[in-house]
Amino acid sequence: MAYTDAAQVQNLIGVDLYTAIVTASEGSISFTQMIADADAEVDARLRQRYITPFAQLADTPATPALIQTISRYMVCANLYARHRPEQPHAMFFGSKAEQLLDGLLDGRFEIDAAQQSSSAQRRGFRVKNSDPVFAGVNASGQQRTKDW
């Protein structure tokens, strides 16, 4: 499972810094494990709204672009937090990932992925749009309220 890869992370933080961090991290958690951890967190956070796991990077269609970005930001935040804690980049990337995840959960952002049905729909109820009762005028312009 991978929503991002080394090349995307290198593009975000730069090849020199990426090489220095990954070289310094030998013996600790592997880069592949960092990606897997970030992807698992994305899946866990979004599973109530979307059907997870999402498509992989190599699949057709590939992972939605916003999910790739979130995973990339989370990996960068983890890299900086582990190996460059004195720099503010860990907080920056972490907060950007959180903002994007919160936006997806709140419905401010949308991705092209299958959504979970609501709990009412899972119990067999159907939700459909209807005109509100006793409110203003109907579609043909007639008053809904009547004087009795």
pLDDT digits (tens, 9 = 90+) for 53-64: 888 888 878 889
Distance CA 141, CA 123 (A): 36
Residue 125 banded pLDDT, cuts 50, 70, 90: low
Distance of CA 115 to the CA centre of its chain: 13
Does a structural domain hold residue 84?
yes
| More confident position, 119 or 100 | 100
| Total tally of structural domains belonging to the chain | 1
67 in a structural domain: yes
User: Is 141 part of any domain?
Assistant: no
Direct distance between the N- and C-terminal alpha carbons of the chain, in angstroms, rounded to an integer: 65
Q: What residue numbers bound the domain in which 92 lies?
A: 6-122
The pLDDT value recorded for residue 93 is 93
Q: From residue 19, how far is each of 23, 26, 83, 143 by CA, in Å?
A: 6, 11, 12, 70
| Domain-embedded: residue 97 | yes
Rounded mean pLDDT of 101-113?
Answer: 87
100 found inside a domain: yes
The answer to whether position 135 is within a domain reads no
> What is the pLDDT, as a whole number, of residue 127?
53
Residue, of 29 and 4, whose pLDDT is higher: 4
3 has a pLDDT exceeding 70: yes
